[in-house]
Amino acid sequence: MNFLDFLRVLARQLIDSNYNDEILENFSILDFDLNQIKEELNFIEGNQILDLEEIDMIRALLVYLLMKETELHEDDIYSFIFSKGKQIIWN
């Protein structure tokens, strides 16, 4: 199973368990190359391999994991994951 398939399964398990953190005990997002993950997501989105809802679910999971495991500011995390590195301006 590749990493994105794993993230899809993990995201579904988290949603089904109301985000129970026990599912994440043996998992660290920092063990993976985040730039490569981001590139894969952009490729998948650009080639419409997955539905936009699934891609957003994976991106939301990445945001959740980065907030949980790093000291990065929320805006920086959202910018990295959702806006391809561009600054997000909140209205």
Let me know if residue 19 belongs to a domain.
yes
Let me know if residue 64 belongs to a domain.
yes
Let me know if residue 88 belongs to a domain.
no
Let me know if residue 58 belongs to a domain.
yes
Binning the chain into helix, strand and coil, the percentages to the nearest 5 are: 65, 0, 35
pLDDT value at position 28? Answer: 76
Overall domain count for the chain: 1
pLDDT value at position 59? Answer: 84
Let me know if residue 59 belongs to a domain.
yes
- Render each residue's pLDDT in the chain as its tens digit; 91 residues: 566 777 777 777 777 888 777 777 777 777 777 788 778 878 888 888 888 888 888 888 888 888 888 888 888 888 888 876 555 555 4
Let me know if residue 89 belongs to a domain.
no
Let me know if residue 55 belongs to a domain.
yes
pLDDT value at position 12? Answer: 78
Q: Spell out the residues 6+ positions from residue 8 whose beta carbon is closer than 8 angstroms to its own.
A: 54, 57, 58
| Domain enclosing residue 38, as ranges | 3-82
Let me know if residue 90 belongs to a domain.
no
pLDDT value at position 24? Answer: 74
